[in-house]
Amino acid sequence: MDRSARAFWVAAPGHGEIRDVELTPPGPDDVLVRTLTSGVSRGTETLVFRGGVPHSQHAVMRAPFQDGEFPGPVKYGYLNVGVVELGPPHLLGRTVFGLYPHQTRWVVPAGAVTVVPDDVPPARAVLAGTVETAVNALWDAAPLVGDRIAVVGAGMVGCCVAAVLAGFPGVRVELVDVDPARAAIADALGVGFAAPAAAAGECDLVVHASATDAGLARSLELLAVEGEVLELSWYGDRAVTVPLGAGFHSRRLSIRSSQVGMVAPARRGRRGYADRLALALRLLADPRYDALVADAVPFEELPRLLTRLAAGEPFAPCVRVLYG
Protein backbone atom coordinates (compact mmCIF):
# COMPACT_ATOMS: atom_id res chain seq x y z
CA MET A 1 0.00 0.00 0.00
CA ASP A 2 1.00 3.64 -0.43
CA ARG A 3 2.25 4.72 3.02
CA SER A 4 2.50 8.43 2.28
CA ALA A 5 0.17 11.07 3.70
CA ARG A 6 0.17 14.78 4.51
CA ALA A 7 -0.76 16.35 7.83
CA PHE A 8 -1.16 19.77 9.42
CA TRP A 9 1.24 20.53 12.27
CA VAL A 10 1.61 23.46 14.64
CA ALA A 11 5.37 23.76 14.19
CA ALA A 12 5.65 26.41 16.91
CA PRO A 13 3.16 28.76 18.59
CA GLY A 14 1.58 30.90 15.88
CA HIS A 15 3.10 28.94 12.99
CA GLY A 16 1.42 26.05 11.16
CA GLU A 17 2.66 23.97 8.25
CA ILE A 18 1.76 20.97 6.08
CA ARG A 19 4.19 18.08 6.48
CA ASP A 20 4.70 14.74 4.75
CA VAL A 21 4.15 11.78 7.09
CA GLU A 22 4.59 8.02 6.71
CA LEU A 23 1.78 5.72 7.74
CA THR A 24 2.21 2.64 9.87
CA PRO A 25 1.09 -0.45 7.89
CA PRO A 26 -2.40 -1.45 9.13
CA GLY A 27 -2.70 -4.69 11.06
CA PRO A 28 -5.62 -7.14 10.75
CA ASP A 29 -7.68 -5.16 13.30
CA ASP A 30 -6.88 -1.72 11.88
CA VAL A 31 -8.45 0.51 9.26
CA LEU A 32 -6.85 2.76 6.67
CA VAL A 33 -9.03 5.84 6.19
CA ARG A 34 -8.90 8.38 3.37
CA THR A 35 -10.10 11.73 4.68
CA LEU A 36 -13.06 13.40 2.98
CA THR A 37 -13.35 16.39 5.28
CA SER A 38 -12.27 17.53 8.74
CA GLY A 39 -13.49 20.28 11.01
CA VAL A 40 -11.62 22.98 12.87
CA SER A 41 -12.74 23.28 16.48
CA ARG A 42 -12.04 26.99 16.60
CA GLY A 43 -11.81 27.62 20.33
CA THR A 44 -9.54 24.73 21.27
CA GLU A 45 -7.49 24.63 18.08
CA THR A 46 -6.70 28.36 18.06
CA LEU A 47 -5.67 28.05 21.70
CA VAL A 48 -3.33 25.20 20.74
CA PHE A 49 -2.15 27.21 17.72
CA ARG A 50 -1.08 30.17 19.86
CA GLY A 51 0.60 27.90 22.44
CA GLY A 52 -1.96 28.58 25.16
CA VAL A 53 -2.26 25.11 26.74
CA PRO A 54 -1.00 25.41 30.35
CA HIS A 55 1.86 23.07 31.22
CA SER A 56 -0.26 21.49 33.97
CA GLN A 57 -2.83 20.48 31.33
CA HIS A 58 -0.51 19.04 28.68
CA ALA A 59 -1.45 15.44 29.49
CA VAL A 60 -5.17 16.15 30.01
CA MET A 61 -5.49 18.06 26.73
CA ARG A 62 -3.90 15.42 24.52
CA ALA A 63 -6.12 14.52 21.58
CA PRO A 64 -6.63 10.75 21.12
CA PHE A 65 -4.27 10.50 18.12
CA GLN A 66 -2.09 13.54 18.73
CA ASP A 67 1.55 13.43 17.66
CA GLY A 68 4.14 15.65 19.29
CA GLU A 69 3.83 17.68 22.48
CA PHE A 70 2.48 21.09 23.46
CA PRO A 71 3.35 23.82 22.66
CA GLY A 72 4.87 22.28 19.52
CA PRO A 73 5.65 20.77 17.18
CA VAL A 74 2.28 19.11 17.60
CA LYS A 75 -0.29 17.49 15.30
CA TYR A 76 -3.65 18.20 16.89
CA GLY A 77 -7.30 17.84 15.97
CA TYR A 78 -10.27 15.54 16.52
CA LEU A 79 -13.01 16.06 13.91
CA ASN A 80 -12.30 13.83 10.92
CA VAL A 81 -14.61 12.08 8.44
CA GLY A 82 -13.31 9.70 5.79
CA VAL A 83 -13.80 6.48 3.84
CA VAL A 84 -12.31 3.15 4.92
CA GLU A 85 -9.99 1.91 2.18
CA LEU A 86 -8.50 -1.08 4.03
CA GLY A 87 -9.90 -2.91 7.01
CA PRO A 88 -12.44 -5.47 8.22
CA PRO A 89 -15.10 -6.34 5.60
CA HIS A 90 -17.95 -4.76 7.55
CA LEU A 91 -16.16 -1.39 7.45
CA LEU A 92 -14.66 -1.48 3.97
CA GLY A 93 -16.00 1.38 1.87
CA ARG A 94 -17.99 2.87 4.77
CA THR A 95 -17.92 6.55 5.72
CA VAL A 96 -16.64 6.88 9.28
CA PHE A 97 -15.97 9.52 11.92
CA GLY A 98 -12.76 9.45 13.93
CA LEU A 99 -11.07 11.66 16.52
CA TYR A 100 -8.09 12.19 14.25
CA PRO A 101 -6.10 15.35 13.38
CA HIS A 102 -6.11 17.03 9.97
CA GLN A 103 -4.41 14.46 7.73
CA THR A 104 -5.06 13.12 4.24
CA ARG A 105 -4.97 9.41 5.21
CA TRP A 106 -4.65 7.68 8.60
CA VAL A 107 -4.43 4.29 10.28
CA VAL A 108 -6.16 3.51 13.58
CA PRO A 109 -7.68 0.47 15.32
CA ALA A 110 -11.05 -0.39 13.79
CA GLY A 111 -12.71 0.23 17.15
CA ALA A 112 -11.61 3.88 17.04
CA VAL A 113 -13.95 4.79 14.17
CA THR A 114 -17.73 5.12 14.14
CA VAL A 115 -19.81 4.50 11.04
CA VAL A 116 -21.64 7.62 9.90
CA PRO A 117 -25.36 6.93 9.37
CA ASP A 118 -26.49 6.99 5.76
CA ASP A 119 -28.74 10.00 6.38
CA VAL A 120 -25.86 12.15 7.70
CA PRO A 121 -23.66 13.73 4.98
CA PRO A 122 -19.90 13.92 5.64
CA ALA A 123 -20.01 17.74 5.72
CA ARG A 124 -22.38 17.60 8.69
CA ALA A 125 -20.73 14.59 10.35
CA VAL A 126 -17.62 16.64 11.20
CA LEU A 127 -19.73 18.14 14.00
CA ALA A 128 -20.07 14.78 15.74
CA GLY A 129 -17.41 15.49 18.37
CA THR A 130 -18.95 18.86 19.22
CA VAL A 131 -22.53 17.57 19.34
CA GLU A 132 -21.16 14.86 21.64
CA THR A 133 -19.87 17.66 23.90
CA ALA A 134 -23.35 19.22 23.84
CA VAL A 135 -24.98 15.90 24.72
CA ASN A 136 -22.63 15.43 27.66
CA ALA A 137 -23.24 18.99 28.85
CA LEU A 138 -26.98 18.47 28.85
CA TRP A 139 -26.60 15.17 30.68
CA ASP A 140 -24.76 17.24 33.29
CA ALA A 141 -27.26 20.11 33.30
CA ALA A 142 -30.41 17.93 33.13
CA PRO A 143 -32.80 20.67 31.88
CA LEU A 144 -36.48 20.20 32.65
CA VAL A 145 -39.64 20.65 30.61
CA GLY A 146 -40.51 24.35 30.41
CA ASP A 147 -37.11 25.64 31.57
CA ARG A 148 -35.92 29.11 30.61
CA ILE A 149 -32.44 28.65 29.17
CA ALA A 150 -29.81 30.98 27.70
CA VAL A 151 -26.74 29.82 25.79
CA VAL A 152 -24.12 32.57 25.99
CA GLY A 153 -21.61 32.35 23.15
CA ALA A 154 -22.67 31.38 19.63
CA GLY A 155 -19.52 29.58 18.64
CA MET A 156 -19.35 25.95 17.62
CA VAL A 157 -20.08 24.50 21.07
CA GLY A 158 -22.74 27.04 22.01
CA CYS A 159 -24.59 26.57 18.73
CA CYS A 160 -24.56 22.79 19.08
CA VAL A 161 -25.93 23.05 22.63
CA ALA A 162 -28.68 25.40 21.41
CA ALA A 163 -29.52 23.03 18.55
CA VAL A 164 -29.95 20.07 20.90
CA LEU A 165 -31.98 22.17 23.35
CA ALA A 166 -34.30 23.27 20.54
CA GLY A 167 -35.80 19.80 20.62
CA PHE A 168 -36.69 19.92 24.33
CA PRO A 169 -40.45 20.36 24.92
CA GLY A 170 -41.65 23.68 26.25
CA VAL A 171 -38.24 25.28 26.83
CA ARG A 172 -37.38 28.88 26.07
CA VAL A 173 -33.97 28.80 24.40
CA GLU A 174 -32.11 32.00 23.59
CA LEU A 175 -28.69 32.11 21.94
CA VAL A 176 -26.76 35.16 23.19
CA ASP A 177 -23.80 36.65 21.33
CA VAL A 178 -22.12 39.99 20.63
CA ASP A 179 -22.07 39.28 16.87
CA PRO A 180 -25.45 40.20 15.30
CA ALA A 181 -24.62 37.98 12.30
CA ARG A 182 -25.17 34.95 14.55
CA ALA A 183 -28.90 35.77 14.58
CA ALA A 184 -29.27 34.06 11.20
CA ILE A 185 -27.72 30.89 12.60
CA ALA A 186 -30.01 30.99 15.63
CA ASP A 187 -32.98 31.32 13.29
CA ALA A 188 -31.81 28.31 11.26
CA LEU A 189 -31.47 26.28 14.47
CA GLY A 190 -34.96 27.25 15.58
CA VAL A 191 -34.00 29.19 18.72
CA GLY A 192 -34.20 32.83 19.76
CA PHE A 193 -31.30 35.27 19.57
CA ALA A 194 -30.29 38.33 21.57
CA ALA A 195 -27.35 40.63 22.11
CA PRO A 196 -26.03 40.35 25.69
CA ALA A 197 -27.70 43.56 26.88
CA ALA A 198 -31.09 42.48 25.48
CA ALA A 199 -31.07 38.85 26.65
CA ALA A 200 -34.04 37.57 28.64
CA GLY A 201 -33.35 37.04 32.34
CA GLU A 202 -34.83 34.85 35.07
CA CYS A 203 -33.18 31.79 33.53
CA ASP A 204 -33.25 28.43 35.25
CA LEU A 205 -30.08 27.47 33.40
CA VAL A 206 -27.41 29.37 31.49
CA VAL A 207 -24.87 27.45 29.42
CA HIS A 208 -21.76 29.59 29.02
CA ALA A 209 -19.53 28.99 25.98
CA SER A 210 -18.10 32.40 25.06
CA ALA A 211 -14.72 31.93 26.82
CA THR A 212 -14.81 35.56 27.97
CA ASP A 213 -15.00 37.22 31.38
CA ALA A 214 -17.85 39.43 30.14
CA GLY A 215 -19.81 36.40 28.94
CA LEU A 216 -19.47 34.65 32.28
CA ALA A 217 -20.50 37.80 34.17
CA ARG A 218 -23.56 38.23 31.96
CA SER A 219 -24.43 34.55 32.41
CA LEU A 220 -24.66 35.06 36.17
CA GLU A 221 -26.81 38.17 35.68
CA LEU A 222 -29.30 36.21 33.57
CA LEU A 223 -30.03 33.61 36.26
CA ALA A 224 -33.14 33.38 38.36
CA VAL A 225 -32.79 32.73 42.10
CA GLU A 226 -30.98 29.41 42.67
CA GLY A 227 -30.20 29.14 38.95
CA GLU A 228 -27.05 27.53 37.57
CA VAL A 229 -24.39 28.43 35.04
CA LEU A 230 -22.95 25.40 33.28
CA GLU A 231 -19.46 26.44 32.20
CA LEU A 232 -18.31 24.91 28.91
CA SER A 233 -15.63 27.49 28.06
CA TRP A 234 -12.02 26.48 28.37
CA TYR A 235 -9.70 29.41 28.98
CA GLY A 236 -6.34 27.69 28.69
CA ASP A 237 -3.64 29.83 30.27
CA ARG A 238 -5.82 32.94 30.68
CA ALA A 239 -6.85 34.15 34.13
CA VAL A 240 -10.59 34.75 34.48
CA THR A 241 -12.38 37.29 36.65
CA VAL A 242 -15.65 35.99 38.11
CA PRO A 243 -18.01 38.48 39.82
CA LEU A 244 -18.97 36.62 42.99
CA GLY A 245 -20.08 39.72 44.90
CA ALA A 246 -23.44 41.52 44.67
CA GLY A 247 -26.25 38.93 44.74
CA PHE A 248 -24.23 35.80 43.99
CA HIS A 249 -24.58 34.40 47.51
CA SER A 250 -27.93 35.88 48.51
CA ARG A 251 -29.52 34.54 45.32
CA ARG A 252 -27.83 31.14 45.85
CA LEU A 253 -26.38 30.97 42.33
CA SER A 254 -24.15 28.13 41.12
CA ILE A 255 -21.36 27.71 38.55
CA ARG A 256 -20.51 24.17 37.48
CA SER A 257 -18.03 22.91 34.92
CA SER A 258 -18.72 20.32 32.25
CA GLN A 259 -16.16 18.65 30.03
CA VAL A 260 -16.45 15.91 27.43
CA GLY A 261 -13.40 13.95 28.62
CA MET A 262 -15.61 11.94 30.99
CA VAL A 263 -19.16 10.71 30.49
CA ALA A 264 -21.46 12.80 32.71
CA PRO A 265 -22.05 11.14 36.12
CA ALA A 266 -25.80 11.04 35.49
CA ARG A 267 -25.24 8.51 32.67
CA ARG A 268 -21.82 7.06 33.43
CA GLY A 269 -23.17 3.81 34.84
CA ARG A 270 -25.31 3.10 31.78
CA ARG A 271 -23.67 4.81 28.78
CA GLY A 272 -20.15 4.69 27.44
CA TYR A 273 -18.18 6.87 25.03
CA ALA A 274 -19.34 4.86 22.01
CA ASP A 275 -22.99 5.25 23.03
CA ARG A 276 -22.58 9.00 23.43
CA LEU A 277 -20.90 9.44 20.05
CA ALA A 278 -23.47 7.26 18.31
CA LEU A 279 -26.22 9.44 19.78
CA ALA A 280 -24.47 12.58 18.51
CA LEU A 281 -24.33 11.14 15.00
CA ARG A 282 -28.02 10.23 15.11
CA LEU A 283 -28.87 13.80 16.10
CA LEU A 284 -26.91 15.05 13.06
CA ALA A 285 -29.54 13.60 10.73
CA ASP A 286 -31.24 16.97 11.33
CA PRO A 287 -30.35 19.35 8.43
CA ARG A 288 -30.53 22.38 10.74
CA TYR A 289 -26.92 21.67 11.68
CA ASP A 290 -25.81 22.61 8.14
CA ALA A 291 -25.93 26.26 9.24
CA LEU A 292 -22.85 25.60 11.40
CA VAL A 293 -20.63 24.34 8.57
CA ALA A 294 -21.22 26.98 5.90
CA ASP A 295 -17.51 27.79 5.37
CA ALA A 296 -14.84 25.50 3.91
CA VAL A 297 -11.20 25.78 2.82
CA PRO A 298 -8.82 23.45 0.96
CA PHE A 299 -6.44 21.38 3.09
CA GLU A 300 -3.42 23.29 1.80
CA GLU A 301 -4.91 26.51 3.22
CA LEU A 302 -4.96 25.24 6.82
CA PRO A 303 -1.84 27.13 8.02
CA ARG A 304 -3.29 30.41 6.77
CA LEU A 305 -6.75 29.59 8.09
CA LEU A 306 -5.49 29.02 11.65
CA THR A 307 -3.64 32.35 11.51
CA ARG A 308 -6.85 34.08 10.42
CA LEU A 309 -8.97 32.33 13.04
CA ALA A 310 -6.48 33.19 15.78
CA ALA A 311 -6.67 36.83 14.67
CA GLY A 312 -10.43 36.77 15.17
CA GLU A 313 -11.62 36.86 11.56
CA PRO A 314 -15.32 35.96 11.22
CA PHE A 315 -16.19 32.52 9.91
CA ALA A 316 -19.00 30.01 10.39
CA PRO A 317 -18.91 28.32 13.82
CA CYS A 318 -17.15 25.31 12.27
CA VAL A 319 -14.86 25.68 9.27
CA ARG A 320 -14.58 22.50 7.22
CA VAL A 321 -11.37 21.39 5.53
CA LEU A 322 -11.70 19.86 2.05
CA TYR A 323 -9.42 17.09 0.81
CA GLY A 324 -8.76 16.06 -2.77
Domain boundaries, the chain: 4-127+284-322, 130-257
Please report the pLDDT score of residue 324 as a whole number: 81
The C-alpha atoms of residue 58 and residue 51 are separated, in whole angstroms, by 11
Residues of the chain with pLDDT under 70: none
Please report the pLDDT score of residue 224 as a whole number: 98
Check: CB of residue 84 under 8 Å from CB of residue 66.
no
Please report the pLDDT score of residue 1 as a whole number: 77
Domain boundaries 4-127+284-322, corresponding CATH code? 3.90.180.10
Within 10 Å of residue 47's Cβ, how many Cβ atoms?
A: 20
Domains 4-127+284-322 and 130-257 share a fold: no
Please report the pLDDT score of residue 200 as a whole number: 98
Domain boundaries 130-257, corresponding CATH code? 3.40.50.720
CB-based contacts of 16: which residues, under 8 Å, 6+ apart?
8, 9, 10, 49, 302, 303, 306, 307
Please report the pLDDT score of residue 43 as a whole number: 86
Please report the pLDDT score of residue 234 as a whole number: 86
